[in-house]
Amino acid sequence: MASLIHVKGKRMSVLDPGAGIGILTAAFCERLLNLREKVQLRITAYENDTALLPHLRRVLRKCEAALQERGHDVTLDVLEDDFIVKNATFFKRETPFLWEDERPAFDYIISNPPYYKLTAASRHGRMMRELGLGQPNAYAFFMALSLPLLKPDGEMVFITPRSFCSGLYYKKFRSWLLEHAAFSRIHVFGSRSEVFEHDGVLQENVILRTTPKNEKRKVAPVKITISENHSFKDLKTHIVPAEDMVHRMNGDALIKIPTSRIHLLIQHAIKDWRYTLHDFGLEVSTGPIVDFRAKDFLTDFVDERTTSPLIWMHNIQDMKVIWPAKKNGKQTAVLLKEASKPLLLPVRNYVLIKRFSSKEQKRRLYAGALLENDFKFKVIGIENHVNYLYRKQGRMAVEEVMGIAALLNSSMVDEYFRCLNGNTQVNASDLRALPLPSLEVIRQVGRRVNAEQPRIGLSLDTVVANALGISNRIVRELHEEDGRD
């Protein structure tokens, strides 16, 4: 992170909000040690955990001593303050950069901010909401309050989860960030587990370097690097036009991080997809059956009159819904009782989508078509790890179900989904935001898939690509590049 900063000039100031024991600032100072030119450095570090402060002071004093020994001049400001409370008053949503006013301005900001949810009732949550940024997570608040503290040509480097790039919670923050920050460098960690784990949820993490947006400055392409983990051994680099990183749709702007050339090709191929599920009267919901809450109704006894099928993630196989299918002793049916009725759905045509994929699985999207004609039951139970997609008023046609299931199972849409979304979960809101071609094209895909019954992988991708007018070259490259399943 320290190496990403463009060190320039003789006088410089660096801010480390949420400094911990100061390792990021120490890394930055280490860089300066090798400068031939003597610099004047002002370090400002915020830390509100009193237990850490003595260590922070000790680390920064060592940095100071080492730099002074080489003839540099260092001033230390270790602030035992709440960074949010101290800086929220400076924040002006519409005009965040008022360089002439009384607030401090920094050349560089380097941060590994705290990560915790901001609840509506909490002081920080209230503050962020009042500033018009929503109330997503402390790390986003740290980013929002830091950016306006930069000088016009200053740089900030943050390491954060990738969650701000998509998702409803971050919508207001994201739109503010895209309006006022220019991204100049992004590093993505491929492995979710090895770098950080937050709240038990494995998330991809990113290192982001941004500068204040300046209408007069040309928007430069963004350098994206990817490494599996923090050894940075297998670093891959891509240069991406800044406009390829934003997907605007229905008043929201999502940040896409294309991590390969093939991502870019796919993005260009589907950039004209202007529709979402909502445009077709379709909705996504999460399966209502939570096994431990419904345990009194779950059974292995299957009988048309007294039970209904229960669909779990493992029932979604190769674009179909295979039932019954046993796995890990999970029960196959739900007893039809007065109390279980509200948990069951009428058997209709649905697309079922797994909500979770494991780290080892290559694809993120797994969808199966549940077709009314294949089920002799009247009602069905859908377990909570499965999302189901349906028409709110009226019913989905078979070709619509097949078309959407085929698109979601195709490598092209899966890759696109991954540019938008960094975690292993597939939330209903992510599916609602996914761009789609027109319903007529979806039906056409469905008809072809129905007729040809291709297997997921190269065969399905070829059928889908042909129906969509996507070049076969992209499909071939996709399969050559990473030997997909």
Ligand X SMILES: C[S@@+](CC[C@H](N)C(=O)[O-])C[C@H]1O[C@@H](n2cnc3c(N)ncnc32)[C@H](O)[C@@H]1O
- Interface residues toward ligand X, by CB under 6 A: 18-20, 23-24, 46-49, 52, 82-84, 112-114
For residues 124 and 176, the answer to whether their CB atoms sit within 8 Å is: no
HSE-CB at 362 with a 13 A cutoff on CA atoms is 14
Q: How far apart (Å, rounded) are the C-alpha atoms in residues 78 and 47?
A: 8
3-state SS assignment for residue 244: helix
CB of 92 to ligand X, least distance (A): 20
CB of 23 to ligand X, least distance (A): 5
CB of 1 to ligand X, least distance (A): 9
194, burial (CB in 10 Å: exposed 0-12, middle 13-18, buried 19+): middle
Nearer to ligand X by Cβ, of 30 and 49: the residue is 49
Nearer to ligand X by Cβ, of 20 and 221: the residue is 20
CB of 59 to ligand X, least distance (A): 10
Nearer to ligand X by Cβ, of 52 and 397: the residue is 52
Nearest residue to 258 (alpha-carbon basis) of 272, 273, 242, 276 = 242
Structure tokens at 71: 């003839």
466 vs 223, 397, 400, 444, 460, CA distance in Å? 32, 22, 17, 10, 10
Bridge partners for 180 per DSSP: none
Nearer to ligand X by Cβ, of 108 and 377: the residue is 108
Nearer to ligand X by Cβ, of 205 and 260: the residue is 205
Nearest residue to 464 (alpha-carbon basis) of 479, 451, 445, 483 = 445
3-state SS assignment for residue 433: helix
Nearer to ligand X by Cβ, of 18 and 403: the residue is 18
CB of 387 to ligand X, least distance (A): 32
CB of 140 to ligand X, least distance (A): 13
CB of 159 to ligand X, least distance (A): 8
CB of 354 to ligand X, least distance (A): 31
Nearest residue to 336 (alpha-carbon basis) of 295, 287, 380, 384 = 380
Nearer to ligand X by Cβ, of 143 and 347: the residue is 143
Which run of H or of E encompasses 316?
strand 316-317
Provide the terminal-to-terminal Cα distance of the chain, rounded to the nearest Å: 35
Amino acid at 161: P
Nearer to ligand X by Cβ, of 18 and 454: the residue is 18
